[in-house]
Amino acid sequence: MQSATRGRSGTAEILEQMGPGDQVFLDYDGTLVPISSDPTSCFADRELLSILDGLGEEYDMYIVTGRSAEDMRRFLPPRYRVIALHGALLLTSEGDVPLIPDYSRYVEICNSIALRKNEIREMFHGARLYNKVGGITVNTWLMDTATRGRLEDFMRSLAEESGMELYLGKQVVELRIPGVNKGDAIRKFRKHGRKALIAGDDITDEEAFIKNSDALTVKVGPGETSARYRVSDYMEMRSLLRELIRRS
């Protein structure tokens, strides 16, 4: 990963290079909506829906998120295409399409782990476990540092036992389907001859930046990044997208 100096402000360059018909791949939490201590409350507001509608009319747009299908169906109307679970599932207005083999097997693994929800809550004070039906997330906003460290060790062992992959993110510890990542998922949907804008704020988005280094990659927020450009927060990202629509 490159130093924090990477990811320069260069929204004017992005606006000059993108045009109608090009592709836009956007993370959700922290990129389009603020990060929240309550992961069940991250609904799209009217402004965001207006932006997404405008992008959808002019660009080939996807939301790319680690969120579950259930979460994204609650947060967004079904008219948007969503690549969920880091790239394991495509949500469309016509239904859900698994993007990996053996998806149903990983659903069964997650359902089995979720049966231990109360046990994990008792072991780790402040843990909030969510079955993403293709992933397991433990929200750690209410957890102290020492407890989170013990949780990480526990989840690492659980990952080894179940064949899942451990991911440590912003206020989350997650088990996800091995080998699935946003970078490879986006590459599946890239179209030859089309420019692509890819934006995100978390470690999983760095995989997208690295594996799509030819794209116009945008880091949202502070921190080290491999992205070519940077905006300060989700509000500046929305401003960039509004201007992209206005110029199309």
Q: Give me the residue label for tokens 């949907």.
A: 189
Q: Residue 216: enclosing H or E segment and its boundaries? A: strand 216-220
| Active site (catalytic) residues | 27
* Number of helical (H) and strand (E) elements in the chain, helices listed first: 9, 12
**Reported confidence tier of residue 7, pLDDT bands at 50, 70, 90:** low
Tens digits of per-residue pLDDT, 76-127?
999 999 999 999 999 999 999 999 999 999 999 999 999 999 999 999 999 9
Q: What are the pLDDT digits (tens) for 211-225?
A: 999 999 999 999 999
Torsion of CA 49, 58, 68, 72, to 10 degrees: 20
Contact between 229 and 219 under an 8 Å Cβ cutoff? The reply is yes
